[in-house]
Amino acid sequence: MEFSYDIAGGDFSRAGAASSEVKKILKQLNVELAVIKRVVVALYEAEVNVVAHAADGVMQVTLDSASIEVVIRDRGPGIPDIALAMQEGYSTASPRVREMGFGAGMGLPNIKRNCDSLDIESTVGVGTTVRMVTFFNR
Amino acid sequence: MDDFYHALKVSPDACTGCTHCMTACPTRAIRVRHRLATIDAAACVDCGMCLKTCARRAIFVEQDDFNRIFQFSHRVILLPTVVFGQFGGEVSEERIFAELHAMGFTRVVETDRAAGILAAAMRDYMARNPHRRPFISAFCPAVVRLIQVRFPSLIPHVIPLKQALDLSAIYARRELELAGVPGNEIGVFYVTPCAAKIAAIKSPVGEEVSPVDGVINMDFIYNKVQVGLTRHRDQPLPPAPDQEFLSPESIAWTLSGGEAAAFEGRCLAIDEIHNVIDILEKIENEEIPGIDFVELRACDHSCAGGALTTNNRFLTLERLRARARANDGRRREAPEGIRQHDAFLRERAPLPGKIFPRPIERLDEDMTVALEKMQKINRIMEVVPGVDCGACGAPSCRELARDVVLGKAKLDQCIFMRQALLREGLMTPAEAIEMAERTWGKGRFGENK
C-alpha cells in the first residue's frame, strides 16, 4: 500500500503533520507500539529537515505486512558532505530556525538510530533523497 | 475485552438522534442508530463532552441512591474544593459545612487535603524514575483512559499513583478506624464534578477496588444544600465541627496549573480534551524536547469546568482564588490532621496494578488483514462525499467507511450513496426509506405503505 504527502518548505506550523498521518496508519495496522515510536521519531526529524532547508518535498510511504519504507525527496540546497552531516551536533540551520527549537544538529543521527536502514543521496543545489526502511518484526 | 463501567447514559425518551454528541466525541465513540445515540464502551473515556453538548439533556450521569449513606452509622462526605466554587460569595463555608451535616453526614473531609502528601509522593517517584520523563499526571481519569485507548505508547510516562480522592478516602477511613469504629460501619461518599471520576471509582485503573463506597453528583449536592439554605435561612448556624483551613496550594491543586506549580523543571499545564489530544500527539512524536512534567485535564478550566458543576467556571475560579487568599497564613492543619498519617498514606499511594493499553484504532490483530481492511476503507473514501454530514449516524465519512469494513454499518446508510443508487435504479424508494429509518428511527418519514 502506498501513501504520499507533500511537505511545504519553510512552513514550520505544519511540520510534523505528515509524520502524524503515518502514525495514525501504523496504529490502525496494529504495528507494535515501540516500532511506531521509532518510525515516527525518524519521520518527524526527516520532515523537519525538509521544512527547515528545502523549497518543498514529498514523503512517499510504502507499506506491507513486514516493513515500512519511506522515501523523502526534496528540492533544496543538498548536503555537500553527508558524513559530516551525520555527526551529532553538526548543523547548518540558520539562527531563526534554531530559535524555533529546530536545527540542533541531532536530526540525521537521530534518524539513523530510529530506522533499520538509511540511505541518503544528495546533489548540491538540486536536492536530497532520504530512504528509510523499518521492519515490523525483527 | 473487559467491560468498562461508564457513568454516562443516554435517555432513549429524550434523545432525538440529533448527532451533536456524536460530532463532539473526541474518541469517536458515538453512533446514531434508530434515533438514539449509542456509546461504544470500549472507546468512551468518560470525558463528558457529549453531556455538555447535548441540548436536550438526554445524556446524564447515573448516580448512587443518596439514601444509601444511611446504611452506615459513620457517613463521610469527601468534598473536592470545586464544591465551594459553586456557591456565591454570600454563602459562607460554615453554612455549607453545616448543611452537609444537616443532610446526614457525620464527617466532612476535603479531598484536596491529601494534595500535599500526593505532591511529595509524585516528587519522590519522579526523582527515582528519571528515565520515564516526560512525566504525565494521572490526576484526570478521562486523560488516563484517553492515553489507554489512543496513546498507549505513553502509558510508561504516567505517574502510577493514586490520586487525592483515593488518599483522602483512605485517610478518612483510617482516622475513624483508629478511633475504634468498625470498618463496615464507615461509609465514604465522594462528591464528583464529572463522569470520569465516577468511572474511576466504579472501575478503577491499576487497582482492584476503590476505597470509596459511593458517589454523589455535584449538581445533586448543590441543589440539596440550596434547599437546606432556604429552609434554614432564619435559623442560627447549627454547631459544626471545627474546619481546618486548606492551604492555597491544596485549593489550587484541582484547578489548571495547580499540579504544574508544585514541581521543579519545565512543567506544562493543559486543559480541555482537544488541547490534551494535541499535546499528547506532540509528546508521542517527541516533538517537544526537554519537558519534565505535564498536567493534563479533560475539562476546560479543569474541574471547575466539570460536566456536573452548576456554576459558571470563571465565577468558580473567582471564589476559589478568594478562598485561597483568605486561607493564606491561617491555621493549616490540626495536630491530629492528615499529616500524622503521612507515612501510612505514602505507603499506600502507588497503584498496585498496571495501567493496561486498550487500543481502539487497530483494524485487525493480524497486520495482513488490517492492511486489506485499510485498502477497503481507502476505496470507500473515493466514493463517499467527504462532507462529514453525520446523516448516516457516523461522525465522519471516514468513520462510516471504517464501520462498513469492520462489519458494523452498511454503506447505503450514506444519503449520498442512496441518491446514487436510486438514480441508477439499484434501490427502490421504499428500500431507501427503510434504510434511512435505521438511523433516523421508524415513522420519521410518515407511515410506510
Outline where A54-132 has alpha helix (H). Answer: 82-85, 95-99, 107-113
C-beta atoms of B285 and A28 within 8 A? no
- Listed residue (A124, A136, A132) closest to A71, CA to CA: A132
- With a cut of 80, say whether residue B174 has pLDDT above it: yes
C-beta atoms of B363 and A19 within 8 A? no
Interface of A with B in 62-91 (CB under 8 A): 63-65
In total, the C-beta contacts within 8 angstroms joining chain A to chain B are 60
| Residue in B281, B286, B357 nearest the CB of A41 | B286
What fold characterizes domain B8-61? Alpha-Beta Plaits (3.30.70)
How far is the alpha carbon of A94 from chain B, nearest alpha carbon, in Å? 19
C-beta atoms of B370 and A1 within 8 A? no
Q: Can you give the pLDDT at residue B178? A: 94
| Residue in B285, B364, B367 nearest the CB of A41 | B285
Chain A residues in contact with B153 by the CB 8 A cut-off are 33-34, 36-37
CATH classification for the domain delimited by B66-132+149-255+299-348, as one of 3.40.50, 1.10.10, 2.10.240, 3.40.720: 3.40.50
Mean residue pLDDT of chain B comes to 92
Higher-confidence position of B301 and A15: B301
List the strands of the sheet with B186-192, edge to edge: B107-110, B74-79, B186-192, B214-217
| Residue in B284, B364, B375 nearest the CB of A30 | B364
Distance of CA B436 to the CA centre of its chain: 34
Q: How far apart are CA B392 and CA B269, in angstroms?
A: 38
Superfamily of domain A2-135 in the CATH hierarchy: Histidine kinase-like ATPase, C-terminal domain (3.30.565.10)
How far is the alpha carbon of A76 from chain B, nearest alpha carbon, in Å? 23
Outline where B349-428 has alpha helix (H). Answer: 367-383, 397-405, 415-423
Query: What residue in A sits closest to B372 (Cα-Cα)?
Result: A1
DSSP symbol at B245:
P
- With a cut of 60, say whether residue A128 has pLDDT above it: yes
Domain with CATH 3.30.70.20 in chain B: 8-61
Max Cα-Cα span within chain A:
42
- The burial of B422, by beta-carbon neighbours within 10 Å (0-12 exposed, 13-18 middle, 19 or more buried), is given as middle
The answer to which of A18-22, B269-273, B444-448 has the lowest mean pLDDT is B444-448
Chain B residues in contact with A36 by the CB 8 A cut-off are 153
* pLDDT (mean) for B117-133: 96
* pLDDT (mean) for B240-252: 81
- With a cut of 50, say whether residue A2 has pLDDT above it: yes
Residue B436 grid coordinates: 434511512
List the strands of the sheet with A127-135, edge to edge: A2-8, A56-63, A67-75, A127-135, A117-123
* pLDDT (mean) for B302-321: 95
- The burial of B344, by beta-carbon neighbours within 10 Å (0-12 exposed, 13-18 middle, 19 or more buried), is given as middle
Q: Can you give the pLDDT at residue A122? A: 92
DSSP symbol at A28:
H
* pLDDT (mean) for B141-158: 96
Give residue-wise pLDDT tens across range B314-351: 999 999 999 999 888 776 665 567 888 999 999 999 99
Give residue-wise pLDDT tens across range A107-118: 788 888 899 999
* pLDDT (mean) for B182-194: 95
Chain A residues in contact with B282 by the CB 8 A cut-off are 16
C-beta atoms of B371 and A31 within 8 A? no
Q: Can you give the pLDDT at residue B240? A: 66
Q: How far apart are CA B220 and CA B50, in angstroms?
A: 19
Question: CB of A5 within 8 Å of any CB in chain B?
Answer: no
Question: CB of A16 within 8 Å of any CB in chain B?
Answer: yes
| Residue in B286, B287, B374 nearest the CB of A28 | B374
- Report ipTM for this prediction: 0.81
Domains of chain A by residue range: 2-135
- Listed residue (B154, B143, B161, B251) closest to B197, CA to CA: B143
| Secondary element (H or E) of residue B145 | helix B141-150
The CA-based angle B319-B320-B321, given to 5 degrees, is 90
pLDDT band at B1 (very low <50, low <70, confident <90, very high): very low
Share of chain B above pLDDT 90, in %: 81
Q: How far apart are CA B173 and CA B157, in angstroms?
A: 31
How far is the alpha carbon of A13 from chain B, nearest alpha carbon, in Å? 12
* pLDDT (mean) for A122-128: 93
Please provide the DSSP assignment of B270-301 as one string. EESHHHHHHHHHHHHTT-STT--EEEEESSTT
Q: How far apart are CA B190 and CA B172, in angstroms?
A: 12
C-beta atoms of B286 and A30 within 8 A? no
C-beta atoms of A20 and B286 within 8 A? no
Q: How far apart are CA B117 and CA B113, in angstroms?
A: 8
CB-based contacts of A95: which residues, under 8 Å, 6+ apart?
Answer: none
| Residue in B285, B364, B375 nearest the CB of A23 | B285
- Listed residue (B401, B189, B133) closest to A28, CA to CA: B401
- With a cut of 70, say whether residue A58 has pLDDT above it: yes
| Residue in A20, A30, A34 nearest the CB of B367 | A30
C-beta atoms of A27 and B371 within 8 A? no
- Listed residue (B160, B128, B129) closest to B144, CA to CA: B160
pLDDT band at B420 (very low <50, low <70, confident <90, very high): very high
B→A interface, C-beta within 8 Å: 152-153, 281-282, 284-287, 289, 357, 359, 361-368, 370-371, 374-375, 378
Cβ neighbours, 10 Å, residue B109: 22
- With a cut of 70, say whether residue B393 has pLDDT above it: yes
How far is the alpha carbon of B23 from chain A, nearest alpha carbon, in Å? 19
Q: Which residue's entry shows cell 503521612?
A: B342
Give the β-pairing of B36-39 and B30-33.
antiparallel
- Listed residue (B295, B339, B296, B324) closest to B84, CA to CA: B324
C-beta atoms of A65 and B374 within 8 A? no
Q: How far apart are CA B377 and CA B384, in angstroms?
A: 11
Chain B residues in contact with A64 by the CB 8 A cut-off are 371
Q: Which of A13, A33, A47 to mutate to test the interface with B (most CBs of B within 10 A)?
A: A33
How far is the alpha carbon of B28 from chain A, nearest alpha carbon, in Å? 14
Query: What residue in A sits closest to B371 (Cα-Cα)?
Result: A29
Chain A residues in contact with B371 by the CB 8 A cut-off are 1, 29, 63-65
The CA-based angle B28-B356-B290, given to 5 degrees, is 85
pLDDT band at A103 (very low <50, low <70, confident <90, very high): low
For residue B27, give Cα distances in angstroms to B20, B45, B169, B315, B370: 14, 8, 31, 30, 20
Q: Which of A1, A3, A30 to mutate to test the interface with B (most CBs of B within 10 A)?
A: A30
- With a cut of 50, say whether residue B444 has pLDDT above it: yes
Higher-confidence position of A106 and A115: A115
Give residue-wise pLDDT tens across range B45-98: 999 999 999 999 999 998 889 999 999 999 999 999 999 999 998 999 889 999
| Residue in B153, B368, B374 nearest the CB of A33 | B153
| Residue in A1, A33, A36 nearest the CB of B374 | A1
Q: Can you give the pLDDT at residue B449? A: 47
Decide: helix, strand or coil at residue B74.
Answer: strand
User: Phi and psi dihedrals of B414, rounded to 5?
Assistant: -75, 125
pLDDT band at B383 (very low <50, low <70, confident <90, very high): very high
Domain with CATH 3.40.50 in chain B: 66-132+149-255+299-348
